[in-house]
């Protein structure tokens, strides 16, 4: 079962762990970032990369993930027979 997306959540996108920082006003996309490592005395997060992800891109990636999970499940079922 899926989870609801929220600001502050982390997600893996194109091999990187990103933190969701905002949603667009029109509701068509979200913005997620990676941060530069903190220095010992630095309490602020400095953005290393900023990524805009549309809902269409998220849905496409989700469908692909579900397809891969079904294929793995089918392969396991075939091996048990």
Q: Answer whether residue 27 is part of any domain.
A: yes
Q: Answer whether residue 3 is part of any domain.
A: no
* Alpha-carbon gap, residue 14 to 53, rounded angstroms: 11
| Percent of the chain scoring above 70 in pLDDT | 90
Q: Answer whether residue 23 is part of any domain.
A: yes
Instruction: Judge whether residue 2 has pLDDT over 70.
Output: no
Domain that includes residue 62, residue range = 10-80
* Alpha-carbon gap, residue 78 to 75, rounded angstroms: 5
* Alpha-carbon gap, residue 23 to 29, rounded angstroms: 6
Model confidence pLDDT, tens digit, residues 10-42: 999 999 999 999 999 998 999 999 987 777 666
31 token code pair: 């913005």
Q: Answer whether residue 56 is part of any domain.
A: yes
50 token code pair: 């900023």
Query: Residue 21 in contact with residue 45, Cβ under 8 Å?
Result: no
Q: Answer whether residue 21 is part of any domain.
A: yes
Helices (H) and strands (E) in the chain, counts: 1, 4
């Amino acid at each position: 079962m899926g989870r609801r997306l929220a600001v502050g959540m982390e997600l893996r996108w194109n091999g990187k762990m990103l933190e969701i920082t905002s949603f667009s006003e029109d509701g068509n996309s979200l913005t997620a970032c990676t941060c530069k490592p903190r220095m010992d005395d630095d309490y602020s997060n400095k953005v290393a990369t900023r990524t805009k992800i549309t809902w269409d891109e998220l849905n496409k990636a989700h469908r692909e993930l579900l397809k891969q999970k079904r294929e793995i499940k089918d392969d396991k079922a075939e091996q048990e027979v």
